Every structure is written in C-alpha cells, then in structure tokens.
Amino acid sequence: MSVSENLRQVQDRVAAAARRAGLHSERVKIIAVTKGVPAERIKEALDAGIGDLGENRVQELTEKIAQLPSQTCWHFIGHLQTNKVKSLVGRIALLHSLDRWELALELERRAGEQGLTVPVLIQVNVSGERTKFGINPSELIDFLVDLQELHHVKAKGLMTIAPYVSDPEQARPFFRTLRLLARRANEKLPGDSLPLLSMGMTNDFEVAVEEGANLIRLGTALFGARVHLKQ
C-alpha cells in the first residue's frame, strides 16, 4: 500500500481512538519514524501531509536532513550518546529521549555555546525493564526540579516506550502511568509546563491515544515492515 493510503488509515484509527476516549484527534500529532526508510519513500509521507519525522540515530538523521526539505521538523527519538550531542543541537525540533543527568549537562553546554534552547521530553522507564532506558518514575520530580536550573534545556513533556506485547490492551497501564506522572509533575512545577506526551508506536498507538498521547511515533504503520531491523 502507498504511504498516503497508510497515513489515511492511521488518521482514521487515531480519530476513532480519540472519539472513544472523548478527546479531540486534532491534538494528536503523528511523527513518521523514518529509520531504514529511503528518502524517496519519506517524500511520499511529506507529500501526504506529514510534517514531523523521527530518527533514532544521529548519523542517519544528518544524512536525511541533507536529503529532505529544510522545513521538515525533526525529532530525535533514540538513545543519545553524549559525544553526539554537538551534531544534534540546533537541528531538531524536539529530543524525546532525555534519560540521564549527564546528557542534560552536555545539552546545556552545547546549546549554551550556540545560544540556543533545546526542547526535550524526559524518557521515563515506566515498565522498569532493565533493557530500557529512561528515568525511574520515582526520580522524575527531582530530575525535573534539577532541570529547571539549566537555562538551555527546556522540558516540554514525557516520553515512554511500552513493553512489546501481543495484545496492545496490555500496554495501557504504562501509558496511563505516564499520563498520571505528567499530571503530578504539572501540579508540583510552576505553570502547565509539561503538555507533551510522546507514547504509542505501530503496535499500540490506539491505546496510547485513548490514554492521552499527543505525539505518536509511527514507522511500520506508515512505511511497512523494516527490512533491516534497526531498533
């Protein structure tokens, strides 16, 4: 199926999920995850109306930025090594994967050098799986309080990756927990400072939307199965 047909189907499913939960589907932004996808096929997504693309590797991201229109909004969604921060700062609209203090400090340093502010989401390891990156939920508030001292890193919300489950319904508690963590953080911190919830992938995005996701990260649903599995 063409990317535009896939997108239309995904949009219908997002709208239906939002309706089931009594939410507005316009508040849900689809980020097309383009790892392993050639530029030609990504252009189909852009032509179909996608404005936001996500990558999880710095090198692939830099290559794609050079190949695709400059007005594209890029999201970095993968684990980020501190030595790669320099080549990322100034090139992305949002970092979804701030998962440790050391990375926050390096972002602060590099963004400061360029006189920029980096918008970030805090990746939270809601499931507690040892293979997953992310801040422990019990440490989230302290982490956010510490972040307020950094002037070039601005927290905009939370991100999580649910465990891969055969029945997406089983992912619901993890999404719900992320939403409640954001709510609690918003109560404790000044202003409504964490409006963004990045949760839901091909396997589980409808449940994530029902639980309040406003950023969903979709690869397979839009582009088909990846030939080279690059997680």
Ligand X SMILES: *Cc1c(COP(=O)(O)O)cnc(C)c1O
Residues near ligand X (CB under 6 A) are 33, 35, 56, 77-78, 161, 201-203, 217-221, 231
Residue facing ligand X at closest CB distance? 219
Min separation Cβ 161 and ligand X, Å: 6
Determine which helix (DSSP H) or strand (DSSP E) holds 19, and give its type and residue range. helix 3-20
Min separation Cβ 103 and ligand X, Å: 15
State how far the Cα of 133 lies from the Cα of 135, in Å rounded to an integer.
7
3-state helix, strand, coil split of the chain in percent (to 5) is 45, 15, 40
CB-wise, 110 or 217, nearer to ligand X?
A: 217
CB-wise, 35 or 84, nearer to ligand X?
A: 35
Min separation Cβ 218 and ligand X, Å: 5
CB-wise, 61 or 77, nearer to ligand X?
A: 77
Min separation Cβ 75 and ligand X, Å: 9
CB-wise, 35 or 156, nearer to ligand X?
A: 35
State how far the Cα of 121 lies from the Cα of 160, in Å rounded to an integer.
9
State how far the Cα of 14 lies from the Cα of 46, in Å rounded to an integer.
19
| 140-147 vs 101-113: helix crossing angle, rounded to 10 | 20
